[in-house]
Chain A
Amino acid sequence: MDFISILSIFVLACFVGYFVVWGVTPALHTPLMAVTNAISSVIIVGALIAAAAAGVPGAKWLGLLAVVLASVNIFGGFAVTARMLAMYKKKERR
């Protein structure tokens, strides 16, 4: 992929993000932060590539460390979001 196609994806994704996030109800802003935090750990993709690559040991260990950090975030972020969302309940109709 060349730089321009990547840039196009990025710019369009910014617009998608803009409209989607304005649609998030303010009551869920804390779960929003938790879940965005979890998904931004998709950076683990880069960490996995570095960890799997042979040749440069330093890069491999940096990659492994990044895998640990990103995993903490992924598992912790999604779990804490799920925990929060499970608490939001509607009024019981009696």
Chain B
Amino acid sequence: MHEGAAVPAWALISYLVSGVCFILALRGLSSPESAQRGNRFGIAGMLLAVLTTLVVHVPYLSDQEPTTVAARWRDVDWTVAAEILAAIAVGAAIGLVTARRIAMTAMPQLVAAFHSLVGLAAVLVGAAAFLNPEAFGIVQQFPPGTGWTVYAPVNLAVPINPVSRVEMGLGVAIGAITFSGSVIAFLKLNGNMSGKPILLPGRHAINLVTLAAILGLIAWFTQDQDPLIFWTIAGLSFLIGFLLIVPIGGADMPVVVSMLNSYSGWAAAAMGFTLHNTAMIVTGALVGSSGAILSYIMCRAMNRSFVSVIAGGFGGDAVAAGGGAAIDRPWKRGSAEDAAFLMSQAEQVIIVPGYGMAVAQAQHALREMGDILKKEGVSVKYAIHPVAGRMPGHMNVLLAEANVPYDEVFELEDINSEFARTDVAFVIGANDVTNPAAKTDKSSPIYGMPVLDVEKAKTVLFVKRSMGGVGYAGVDNELFYRDNTMMLLADAKKMVEEIVKALG
């Protein structure tokens, strides 16, 4: 009897090795020196898992697995084998071309898009397992002489092991949520959809009911293997993924992207449970905890609870606190020449980049400016807030792309004490993460959020498109009106290029 579950011992070991490779891949990321080796471990692990599966599950022409080596080669269903290899080749071509062409500034969208693919793949695998449980070795086992073959010969559906049904149901549900949630996140990050939160009336009630319905249906699914239940679980999960992400605003996207990262991991783990596959379980656990930790780091950096982020609505409504009226307060405007002069006279300049730098693609011009300053003997450092940009580590990648050495780039807690000893803080495209109101104004929506102490520098140069706009949190920035702040109003890239000209 051709039994899907009978995986040979060598294959079990090789799945385990591939799981270990994935652990080493993440371990490598503890420092930039070991990171590339880590990535190669990841590739090796994947190659091993795929080759093992291909060898164990060779498609044969006959139902019976051939016993002799000669028969094995003779009976291979080459059409199916070619289809599989073609499918891999198509995916590889799309993936490689995308990876090569994508702009570094578009990395958050790309990651969201990739998450959606993992989610959809999980749903498809779950559906395939539901349709063909024998291939996955999840058929319910009965003692000989009893069970469905005896009692229910008219029932066409092969009964699936109830535990596997739960795993399958959860895998499909999480996969579907990952898919539709990531699609919305992609549309928001890519600008196809407004970053403003869309708030449906009664959305919390709708979400809770939908979630309860999904869990209830999964419980029912263990009792009744009706295709209708299966597809309803999938459908409701697609719906709730959509509902969950739609009300979340642009500034909370780092949390959303990390959260979806986590979900894609849990979906893989659930499928690993169904297939009893070590590589998938280990990977799912790794990715799941990775995304969860990143979400936690992002929430902490915004002083928000995970629940309040998920509840959504942040950053859309115009916040009254010091909103419109504050625009009339006096502020100083500087020119590129002023900025160039101030920085060339400085001993130390700290550059604070934010999402605006990514939008303006100003990182290359910025590095050029840093190079000129360094030649003149100025110490140049970069300060990164954990939530600067649209995904964790977004700014670091952009600076790396512009050839800024990573040992000039510092995290918030490592550099915050240095602002007091710094002549010029150069804020470019960041806003809320520099707002001193987060430390002093209890009524501010961002009160308590850890911020960069840029106002402690002798002079703050703040590059901003215009005085009108507010940051993503919808609050006015105290910093603009301080005596030691000079506003540089222009497109970030143009302004930096003008400063470079003035310096040269």
Contacts and interface: CB of A to CB of B under 8 A. Distances in A.
Nearest to B401: A87
Interface in B68-114: 77, 80-81, 83-84, 87-92, 94-96, 98-100, 102, 104, 107, 110-111, 114
A43 B175 CA distance: 11
Given A40-B284, A60-B128, 20 more contacts: A10-B273, A13-B285, A18-B293, A20-B26, A24-B290, A25-B29, A27-B32, A27-B409, A29-B294, A30-B397, A38-B42, A42-B18, A52-B81, A54-B80, A70-B118, A71-B95, A76-B110, A78-B42, A78-B43, A80-B98
B129 A52 contact: no
A47 B29 contact: no
B50 interface: yes
A43 B115 CA distance: 12
B132 A56 contact: yes
Select the residue from B289, B401, B411 with max chain A CB neighbours within 10 A.
B289
B462 interface: no
Contacts of B127: 59, 62
B394 interface: yes
Interface in B263-286: 264-265, 267-269, 271-286
Nearest to A87: B400
Interface in A1-59: 1, 3, 6, 9-11, 13-14, 16-18, 20-56, 58-59
A73 to B, nearest CB: 5
B19 interface: yes
A45 B50 contact: yes
Interface of B: 4, 12, 15, 18-19, 22-23, 25-27, 29-32, 35-36, 38-39, 42-43, 45-46, 49-50, 53-54, 57-60, 63, 77, 80-81, 83-84, 87-92, 94-96, 98-100, 102, 104, 107, 110-111, 114-115, 117-118, 120-122, 124-125, 127-129, 131-132, 134-136, 163, 257-258, 261, 264-265, 267-269, 271-291, 293-294, 297, 384, 386, 391-394, 396-397, 400-401, 403, 405-409, 411
A94 B89 CA distance: 45
B57 to A, nearest CB: 4
Nearest to A1: B276
B63 A54 contact: yes
B125 A46 contact: yes
A37 B258 CA distance: 11
B125 A43 contact: yes
A32 B25 CA distance: 9
Given A3-B163, A35-B26, A49-B136, A14 B128 contact: no
Given A23-B30, A42-B22, A70-B118, A91 B405 contact: yes
Contact of B287 (A40, A53, A79, A82): A40
A74 B63 CA distance: 31
A86 to B, nearest CB: 7
Interface residues of A, number: 82
B280 A42 contact: yes
Q: Which 6 A-B pairs have the closest CB atoms?
A: A71-B91, A29-B393, A76-B95, A53-B135, A75-B95, A17-B289
Given A62-B128, A70-B121, A23 B99 contact: no
A30 B393 contact: yes
A35 B39 contact: yes
A85 B32 contact: yes
B36 A82 contact: yes
Given A35-B25, A36-B26, A72 B46 contact: no
Given A21-B293, A78-B46, A79-B95, A89 B405 contact: yes
Nearest to B261: A33
Contacts of A83: 99-100
A33 B392 contact: yes
A26 B324 CA distance: 36
Contact of B114 (A6, A37, A47): A37
Contact of A46 (B107, B128, B131, B411): B128
B290 A55 contact: no
Contacts of A17: 23, 26, 285-290
A67 B287 CA distance: 20
A84 B400 contact: yes
Nearest to B258: A33
B124 to A, nearest CB: 4
A28 B391 CA distance: 11
B117 A73 contact: yes
Contacts of A56: 131-132, 135
